[in-house]
């Protein structure tokens, strides 16, 4: 059993004070940092994903509907598109950036600076099990977790290390993930 931890889109743009803030985003970042200090050695790979929008077209809107269109956020090269300060002190094996020229909710839609996809990185390292944490549970966590299952990984989402955009959207995403075979567990209850 070879594990990877994927930290999805924990960026200031999605935290309090950011362009598209999620209530509890900063605390989620702090909780993930604490988890990493205790559990880094359990993972073969530690991978981050980031929204990294260069020109995402209709994904951005001056009058967003918050379903298909959003206010400008995670603009490539800005401070708020970087990894959250609470998570900057760790040694990551890869950084996956997604959404350069369009919407991209799943980490599996992105690639690292060398053009290698998330799936290729995981399979190349022999990873069989993936744990996922980050922002937002109702969107990019759900999409990344469901894609991980699709690619054949055993997938857990640590429910205490993510937050949804709204509780209602979080409940919907939880149902979708469970239906697709994603295990939703608290990190303190994880079996290794």
Q: Who contacts 74 (Cβ-Cβ below 8 Å, separation ≥6)?
A: 9, 11, 13, 14, 19, 20, 50, 51, 52, 53, 80, 81, 99
Instruction: Give the pLDDT of residue 116.
Output: 98
**Active-site option among 31, 98, 131, 147:** 98
Instruction: Give the pLDDT of residue 130.
Output: 98
Tell me how many domains the chain contains: 1
Residue 178 maps to a domain: no
Task: Confirm if 137 and 161 have CB atoms less than 8 A apart.
Answer: no
Q: What is the CATH number of the domain that holds 51?
A: 3.40.50.850
Whole-model pTM over 0.85: yes
Residue 99 maps to a domain: yes
Residue 135 maps to a domain: no
Residue 139 maps to a domain: no
Q: Tell me the pLDDT tens digit for each residue of 17-56.
A: 999 999 999 999 999 999 999 999 999 999 999 999 999 9
**Active-site option among 140, 142, 146, 147:** 140
The answer to whether 9 is a known catalytic residue is yes
Instruction: Give the pLDDT of residue 67.
Output: 87
The answer to whether 160 is a known catalytic residue is no
The answer to whether 172 is a known catalytic residue is no
Residue 104 maps to a domain: yes
Residue 137 maps to a domain: no
Residue 77 main-chain phi, psi, to 5 deg: 90, -10
Parts of the chain with a pLDDT under 50: none
């Amino acid at each position: 059993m070879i594990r990877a931890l994927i930290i999805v889109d924990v960026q200031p743009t999605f935290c309090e004070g950011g362009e598209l803030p999620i209530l509890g985003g900063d605390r989620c970042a702090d909780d993930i940092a604490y988890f990493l200090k205790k559990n880094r050695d359990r993972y073969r790979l530690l991978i981050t994903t980031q929204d990294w929008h260069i020109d995402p077209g209709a994904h951005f809107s001056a009058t967003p509907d918050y379903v298909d269109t959003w206010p400008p956020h995670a603009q490539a090269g800005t401070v708020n598109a970087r990894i959250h300060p609470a998570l900057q002190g760790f040694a990551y094996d890869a950084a996956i950036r997604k959404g350069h020229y369009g919407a991209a909710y799943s980490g599996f839609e992105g690639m690292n600076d060398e053009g290698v996809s998330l799936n290729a990185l995981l399979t190349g390292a022999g990873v069989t099990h993936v744990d996922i944490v980050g922002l937002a549970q109702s969107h990019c966590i759900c999409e990344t977790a469901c894609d991980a299952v699709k690619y054949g990984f055993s997938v857990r989402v640590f429910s205490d290390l993510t937050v949804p955009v709204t509780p209602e959207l979080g409940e919907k995403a939880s149902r979708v993930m469970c239906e697709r075979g994603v295990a939703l567990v608290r990190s303190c209850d994880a079996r290794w």
